[in-house]
Amino acid sequence: MRLYLAVFALLAAVHCEELFNGDQVLRINAESEDQIQILKKLERDVDSGVSQPVDIRVPHSSLYAVKDFLKKNNIPFTVIINNVQERLVREREEMVRNAEMESKTKSFNFAAYHDLETIYNFMDTLANHSKLISKVKIGSTYENRSMYVLKFSTGGEKRPAIWIDAGIHAREWISHATAVWLADQIAKDFKENRAPVPSILSKMDIYLMIVANPDGYVFTHRSSNPLYRFWRKSRSATSNPKCHGVDLNRNWDAEFGGPGASDDPCAEDYRGPSAQSEIEVKNIAKFIMSHGNFKSFMTLHSYMQLLMYPYGYIGIDAPDQTELHDVATMSSKALNSWHGTVYKVGSIFHTIDQANGASVDWAYLRGIKYSFAFELRDTGKYGFLLPADQIVSTARETWFALRYIMKYVCDHPY
């Protein structure tokens, strides 16, 4: 979910508070192109279509003015988060308590969010206790942090493979936490000979990248300003010294530079100066291309409960659209079977928004037919601040979906 926007140039007042007490998230449902244009006067990052809602975080001091503006322009809205500060405080307190508990018990709690160091230590533990798993460094970030993938393999080099990544957008913590749980589940299912994992791994390897944007993820944890819990981009320098970072999911060499991304370094969806200019994207792309035998590419995001396939950059059907739609539909049904969670299925362009330079399009355009993007829970009640007590349920239902896709890919070689 891209549109979770802080307001507002229109109000001609700078909101400098570091606390969000009383800030609300409004969901705005523009009903015409004229209303979209009015919203753009309110917030420059708005690029949603009429069919897509826009979620905005409004400072408490601006709530009356913003709501009055929307009412006067007959633009429908609802309050979906009543107090952002309360959610932030609760999240941080839970993390502190969990870290203390894990330290005392020498355990790992999958129903909790973790920082980068803890996730990397978890990956080490998993790899050190299983011959199935290896931790592979694929490069370093702009701030010189290591980038790792977990390789699940029963042996052999460059066998047909499945790629899964999470966290390319830093603030989408549920994607990282889900990927952590998935790594453990794949290992358990193989060890316990639980179908279909042994069968899949007898024919294919699985590569799982839990943190695709390490610099951004660390920034969401360590910054003293709570605003940066909602940081989306990387942390590289740009042409504007006041605006750091690139949207790594608009930087891929997939119709780069089109209208489905911004050329403004201060925008949330800033695409970067050129295709694959960012070292993080270069590292992933180089690894996948040098391997040369990936058959599926899946990326985990949040939020809005969507399961999508190419294209994002254009509104025409991909050559494999019928098959991809059928696979996604069946996968979403498998997901729904766990907890009843409903996902919307379709192409990126028609389901969420136009997106140029997205990783799924990049993979598909390079012959990786089974390419999918997930937007995990929820649909806005908590947004990027999904409570930790929903991690395991989210991860398990996502596993049901991924498991279906992986088995399908295994059974349909090309």
What percentage of residues in the chain have a pLDDT greater than 70? 93
- Looking at residue 13, its pLDDT comes to 30
Statement: residue 18 has pLDDT above 60: no
Are 339 and 397 spatial neighbours (Cβ–Cβ below 8 Å)?
yes
Q: What mean pLDDT, rounded, does the chain reach?
A: 92
Better-scored residue on pLDDT, 272 or 17: 272
- Looking at residue 16, its pLDDT comes to 35
Q: CA-to-CA distance for 331 and 194, rounded, in angstroms?
A: 19
**pLDDT-based confidence at 5, cuts 50/70/90?**
very low
**Contacts of 319 by beta carbon, 8 Å cutoff, 6+ apart:** none
Q: What tens digit of pLDDT does each residue of 294-303 get?
A: 999 999 999 9
Statement: residue 79 has pLDDT above 80: yes
Maximum Cα–Cα distance across the chain: 65
- Looking at residue 9, its pLDDT comes to 34
Supply the pTM of this predicted model: 0.92
Torsion angle, alpha carbons of 170, 333, 254, 249, to 10: -10
Q: What tens digit of pLDDT does each residue of 186-227 get?
A: 999 999 999 999 999 999 999 999 999 999 999 999 987 888
**pLDDT-based confidence at 34, cuts 50/70/90?**
confident
Active site residue 375: yes
Q: CA-to-CA distance for 193 and 69, rounded, in angstroms?
A: 59
Q: Which of 29-38, 162-171, 244-253, 344-353 has the lowest mean pLDDT?
A: 29-38
As a whole number, mean pLDDT of residues 46-53 equals 58
Instruction: Quote the tokens at residue 184.
Output: 């453990």
CA distance between the termini of the chain:
32
Q: CA-to-CA distance for 309 and 256, rounded, in angstroms?
A: 18
- Looking at residue 109, its pLDDT comes to 98
Q: What is the CATH number of domain 24-82?
A: 3.30.70.340
Return the number of other C-beta atoms located less than 10 Å from residue 397's C-beta: 24
Q: Give, in order, the Cα–Cα distances in Å from 213 to each of 45, 143, 181, 245, 285.
A: 22, 11, 18, 11, 14
Statement: residue 45 has pLDDT above 70: no
Statement: residue 292 has pLDDT above 80: yes
- Looking at residue 194, its pLDDT comes to 96
**Contacts of 136 by beta carbon, 8 Å cutoff, 6+ apart:** 148, 149, 150, 151, 207
Statement: residue 160 has pLDDT above 90: yes
- What is the arrangement of strands in the sheet containing 294-302, beginning at the earlier edge strand? 133-140, 146-152, 205-209, 161-166, 294-302, 370-376, 306-309, 344-347
In DSSP notation, 84-149 reads HHHHHHHHHHHHHHHHHHHHHHT---TTS---HHHHHHHHHHHHHT-TTEEEEEEEE-TT--EEEE
Domain spans of the chain, in order of start: 24-82, 91-225+248-412
Q: Which of 52-61, 298-307, 312-321, 359-368 has the lowest mean pLDDT?
A: 52-61
Rg (CA), the chain: 21
Q: What is the CATH number of domain 91-225+248-412?
A: 3.40.630.10
- Looking at residue 217, its pLDDT comes to 98
- Looking at residue 8, its pLDDT comes to 36
Statement: residue 7 has pLDDT above 70: no
As a whole number, mean pLDDT of residues 54-65 equals 86
Statement: residue 181 has pLDDT above 90: yes
Are 160 and 412 spatial neighbours (Cβ–Cβ below 8 Å)?
no
- Looking at residue 10, its pLDDT comes to 33
Cis, peptide link before residue 8, omega less than 30° from 0: yes
Statement: residue 380 has pLDDT above 60: yes
Q: Which is catalytic among the residues 91, 172, 268, 375?
A: 375
Return the number of other C-beta atoms located less than 10 Å from residue 12's C-beta: 7
DSSP category for residue 218: H
Better-scored residue on pLDDT, 129 or 177: 177
Q: CA-to-CA distance for 382 and 234, rounded, in angstroms?
A: 23
- Looking at residue 43, its pLDDT comes to 61
